[in-house]
Amino acid sequence: QKLLVNGDDVIERRMELVRVVSHNTHKRMVSCLQGHIGADAEKRHKKLPLTSLSQAMVEGGNQLGEDSLIGKMMEVCGDAENRLASELMQHELQIEKDVLDPLSQLAEVDIPNILKQRKQLAKLVLDYDSARARWLQATKSIISGTNTQALTAKADLLKEEMDEAMNKVELCKDQLAADMYSFFSKEGDYARYFVTLLEAQADYHRKSLTVLENVLPTIQAQQDSWTEKPAFGTGLDEHLKRSGREIALPLEACVMMLLETGMKEEGLFRIAAGASKLKKLKAALDCSTSQLEEFYSDPHAVAGALKSYLRELPEPLMSYQLYDDWIQASSVTDPDKRLQALWVVCDKLPKNNKTNLRYLVKFLSKLAQDSEVNKMTPSNIAIVLGPNLLWAKTEGTLAEMAAATSVHVVAIVEPIIQHADWFFPEGRFCGCPLSCVILKFHPPL
């Protein structure tokens, strides 16, 4: 009480500091809200950026239609974003009610009212001091004055004013003390606002995570079920499963085009194709288009695309797992036993690898039959194509890996091409058009 009466400003500075930091925190917290403060739930939801994003996604999905994977994804994501917007709207309403409003009440009403009482007390103390000074002056006048009765009456009036002023001081002082004691006793309640903030944020993020976890399996299933995915760079088994094919599309399409226009081309697989034409052909094959007529006139681009497909497989067509077996078989000195050893390893290939290797080797064998014209003997084919069929699973660039194993690979691939009908006695080529390949028709070899 002495601190209050004497105007000590320690408590006042403390309360003013609490007011300032509460005000600043409230201001920053409001700036974090995405909705308009004070708006009702419906208006707040409409104005959220997430709601606008949701609407744009749904509209975009409807425009693209069900035939587009992007359209399907946008519809599902748009619905998810709308649910996230609803969670955000509810979260911000709770924050406004349980944190922002009480914090504003503290900073803008409660503490200012107490500080006003502090100033009012200081004014009442001055009023009391003034009344007391007038009363003391009046009592001195009675002693020295002649009209004692009148002076005494005046002094009594001043005494009443002084007593009334003191009473006001005491009342204000008691009220201020009570309010200050109440404020400091409630500091734990005020501090609880920030605990409430974190609890509300945790609850909001948990609910938002639940929304995402519920939608992710759906959207992932749509992604996985979409068959129109790039073939280049995709594992053989995955590509065949997604496309429902037996022979990889780039392999079969390129072989069909080369059978029609490339078998007499000199240096096929050896002469590099134009980069832009090769890039365009790879992109066309990746999207499974049947509009490939322009590439018939450029067999080197077709051969380059076939080489690129084989080179970009995550695992070589002739398998990492059998790499050591291939190398060991190629090292057998006796020619007949070497062929037998290579056949044994070939027979160990996984089904899809063996089917596609058989298809390719049958074609390469047919290509080698015209070697007097195209200059592509089994040896030359093995040199330029072999490193794209088998390489070691070691660190380093593809060029480094190919260089390290090229000699062995040529010794493996060349006899397989030379003796294609012995390694793969079943099957023949079909003269069906390329459109059959694109439509997932698989002619027997």
Q: 3-class DSSP state for residue 93?
A: helix
Residue 441: per-residue pLDDT:
33
End-of-domain residue from the set 179, 203, 225: 225
Look at residue 13 and tell me whether its pLDDT is greater than 90.
no
At residue 443 the predicted structure's pLDDT band, cuts being 50, 70 and 90, is very low
pLDDT tens per residue, range 243-268:
888 999 999 999 999 999 889 989 99
Tell me how far the alpha carbon of residue 171 is from its chain's centroid.
63
Look at residue 122 and tell me whether its pLDDT is greater than 90.
no
Q: How many domains does the chain have?
A: 2
**208 and 259 both lie in a single domain:** no
Look at residue 305 and tell me whether its pLDDT is greater than 90.
yes
- Region 334-351 average pLDDT: 94
% of the chain at pLDDT higher than 90: 52
**131, 50 in Cβ contact below 8 A?**
no
At residue 431 the predicted structure's pLDDT band, cuts being 50, 70 and 90, is very low
At residue 432 the predicted structure's pLDDT band, cuts being 50, 70 and 90, is very low
**381 and 416 both lie in a single domain:** yes
Look at residue 190 and tell me whether its pLDDT is greater than 70.
yes
> 231 in a domain, yes or no?
no
**267 and 396 both lie in a single domain:** yes
Residue 6: per-residue pLDDT:
44
Between residues 319 and 219, which one has the greater pLDDT? 319
Q: What is the 3-state secondary structure (H, E, C) of 101-151?
A: HHHHHHHHHHHHHHHHHHHHHHHHHHHHHHHHHHHHHHHHHHHHCCCHHHH
> 445 in a domain, yes or no?
no
Look at residue 196 and tell me whether its pLDDT is greater than 70.
yes
Residue 145: per-residue pLDDT:
62
**406 and 257 both lie in a single domain:** yes
| CATH number of residue 12's parent domain | 1.20.1270.60
End-of-domain residue from the set 194, 225, 256: 225
**221 and 240 both lie in a single domain:** no
- Region 384-393 average pLDDT: 91
Q: CA 104, CA 19: separation in Å to the nearest integer?
A: 9
Look at residue 433 and tell me whether its pLDDT is greater than 80.
no
**157 and 216 both lie in a single domain:** yes
**176 and 256 both lie in a single domain:** no
The values of phi and psi at residue 150, to 5°, are: -70, -40
> 415 in a domain, yes or no?
yes
| Alpha carbon distances (Å) from 198 to 98, 181, 337, 342 | 12, 28, 75, 68
- Predicted TM-score (pTM) of the model is 0.56
**152 and 255 both lie in a single domain:** no
Q: Out of 116-120, 328-332, 427-431, 437-441, give the one with best mean pLDDT.
A: 328-332
**214 and 272 both lie in a single domain:** no
Q: CA 208, CA 201: separation in Å to the nearest integer?
A: 10
> 230 in a domain, yes or no?
no
| Alpha carbon distances (Å) from 319 to 255, 342, 388, 393, 443 | 21, 14, 11, 10, 25
- Region 402-406 average pLDDT: 56
% of the chain at pLDDT higher than 70: 89
> 169 in a domain, yes or no?
yes
* Residue 56, token pair as written in the block: 């744009």
> 117 in a domain, yes or no?
yes
Residue 445: per-residue pLDDT:
40
At residue 349 the predicted structure's pLDDT band, cuts being 50, 70 and 90, is very high
Q: CA 177, CA 168: separation in Å to the nearest integer?
A: 14
Look at residue 373 and tell me whether its pLDDT is greater than 50.
yes
Secondary structure percentages of the chain, helix, strand, coil, to 5: 75, 0, 25
- Counted residue by residue, the chain has a size of 445
Residue 427: per-residue pLDDT:
56
Which residues, at least 6 apart from 437, have a Cβ–Cβ distance to it below 8 Å? 249, 252, 253, 256
At residue 334 the predicted structure's pLDDT band, cuts being 50, 70 and 90, is very high
Residue 2: per-residue pLDDT:
43
State which residues form the domain around 94. 1-225
Residue 403: per-residue pLDDT:
53
Residue 430: per-residue pLDDT:
47
**186 and 221 both lie in a single domain:** yes
Residue 289: per-residue pLDDT:
63
> 67 in a domain, yes or no?
yes
Between residues 292 and 275, which one has the greater pLDDT? 275
Look at residue 121 and tell me whether its pLDDT is greater than 90.
no
CB count in 10 Å sphere of residue 220: 10
Look at residue 225 and tell me whether its pLDDT is greater than 80.
no
Residue 248: per-residue pLDDT:
92
Q: Out of 54-68, 211-225, 226-240, 314-328, give the one with best mean pLDDT.
A: 314-328
| CATH number of residue 354's parent domain | 1.10.555.10
**310 and 188 both lie in a single domain:** no
Q: Out of 169-178, 179-188, 200-209, 285-294, give the one with best mean pLDDT.
A: 200-209
* Residue 64, token pair as written in the block: 């693209």
End-of-domain residue from the set 187, 204, 225: 225
**354, 335 in Cβ contact below 8 A?**
no
The per-residue pLDDT of the chain, averaged, comes to: 85
**240 and 219 both lie in a single domain:** no
